[in-house]
Structure 1
Amino acid sequence: MKPLQGKRVVVTRSRAQASELCRRIEDLGGSTYEFPVIRIEWPEDLRPLDAAIHSVETYDWVAFTSPNGVEMFFERLQSSGRTTQAMQSVKIAAVGPKTAALVEQQGLTVHALAGEFVGEGLANTLTTHTQAGQKILLPRANLARKQLPQALRNLGLHVTEVEAYRTLPVTEDASDLVKRLESKEIQAVTFTSSSTVTNFLNALKDYPIHDLLAGVTLAAIGPITADTVEKNGLTVDVMPADYTILGLVEALVRHLRRD
């Protein structure tokens, strides 16, 4: 029998991002219930991103902190008429293997990969790769945390932050999900960012959330997401040591097997 046989797992990622997580769960015999609570959109004002792309070769570093940041940045670069040739002299840093792989698919080299897959981990990695006075570009989400740019400035770097995309809440009717939680059809809920936690709880704000989630495994992809869960008075049951989709699924399997 496959390890997730008979287990139904809620996936809260955007529909565009959910496929990898759903596929891994289903390959292991589980079933998924998609309840996307975020969507990815372009910034309202594209001029800062376009300006950064137009002058990208003037930066010493470009640092990508998410797959979304890579995809939106290079899509805009291509539509602006520029090519990755403009970035051949620029060093690239990335948070996490998925982000790095997407950069490399563009034919570019990742010069620094964060050992810990959060923003602060990237700052620690760049300590030994950068020199004070260098210029670094951060294409990020509208809701990105401020710890990373501050940590980079503490290294003496000149940091330019640009909004490459927006993470917006999706409001879906939660009544069907609530029925499934009430009837104990759901064994786990996965969270892949703080935004998914916040928006999921907002979607269920009119329901007795603690009662609904009693006995349901809550899985968070990393410490920042886990912290958001716990700040809302809930308990994280699963958090992988490796803050990736693969790590999340493997940790979920181990936990559910024990149960």
Structure 2
Amino acid sequence: VRERGIAPDFVPDAYIAESIAKGLIEKGMDGKKILLPRAREAREVLPEELRKAGAEVHVLPVYETVPAAARREEVLERLDAGTLDVVTFGSSSTVDNFFAQIPEERLLQGPDAKRVKLAAIGPVTAKTLAKHGFAADIQPEDYTIPALVKALADHYEKQGA
């Protein structure tokens, strides 16, 4: 938004709904009208907490995530060949959409029982991975794409790859 000449009034400490809600509520929500553009499928934490604090919240779904089956066979082939090192997840919906295409047990197969590493952008996404029976091997401290990329680079640098 700054690149577009807009100065944000608030930037959360952590990029999760709970942190956004906490910071906004501290600014006072009683009687405020809030428009929340977001994904069609999203957790209800933010609008619920803001409403509890007295805000009138209007949720506007502006996008939806859908599974992309176009490369399913390639992913399965790479899993079978052991040539896929890591799968990154930037949201809970990416986890669910991935497992809608790729059976969970396929991540446990491969040459020499090599298991692909799983990277989650943050704790909410890691919790969704856990619902599928997996723990995040890589997770940044800050829940942003640049931090996820750095966590991946750091992980593989430590591995000598």
Q: State TM-score, norm by structure 2.
A: 0.88
> C-alpha distance in 1, partners of 2:114/2:70?
22
Asked if the contact 2:35–2:57 (Cα under 8 Å) also holds between the matched residues in 1, the reply is yes
Please give the residue correspondences for 1:198-209 in structure 2 after superposition, counting only pairs within 5 Å: 198-205=96-103, 208-209=106-107
Judging by fraction of residues, say which structure has more strand: 1
Stretches of structure 2 lacking an aligned partner (at least 5 in a row): none
Tell me: higher relative CO, structure 1 or 2? Use CA pairs within 8 A at least 6 residues apart: 1
1:258 aligns with 2:158: yes
Aligned length in residues: 157
Please give the residue correspondences for 1:43-62 in structure 2 after superposition, counting only pairs within 5 Å: none
**CA separation of 1:141/1:210 partners in 2, compared to 1, >3 Å: closer, same or farther?**
same
Q: State TM-score, norm by structure 1.
A: 0.56
> C-alpha distance in 2, partners of 1:171/1:178?
11
**CA separation of 1:228/1:131 partners in 2, compared to 1, >3 Å: closer, same or farther?**
closer
RMSD value over aligned CA atoms?
1.9
Stretches of structure 1 lacking an aligned partner (at least 5 in a row): 1-102
Asked if the contact 1:149–1:159 (Cα under 8 Å) also holds between the matched residues in 2, the reply is yes
Q: What displacement does 1:214 show?
A: 4.2
Judging by fraction of residues, say which structure has more helix: 2
Deviation larger for 249-258 or 145-154: 249-258
> C-alpha distance in 1, partners of 2:104/2:153?
31
SS in 2 for 1:162: strand
> C-alpha distance in 2, partners of 1:207/1:132?
48
Please give the residue correspondences for 1:106-121 in structure 2 after superposition, counting only pairs within 5 Å: 106-121=4-19
One-letter code aligned to 1:155: A
Question: Which of these residues, 126, 141, 156, is aligned with residue 54 of structure 2?
Answer: 156
**Which residue is 1:238 aligned to?**
138
SS in 1 for 2:60: strand
Please give the residue correspondences for 1:162-173 in structure 2 after superposition, counting only pairs within 5 Å: 162-173=60-71
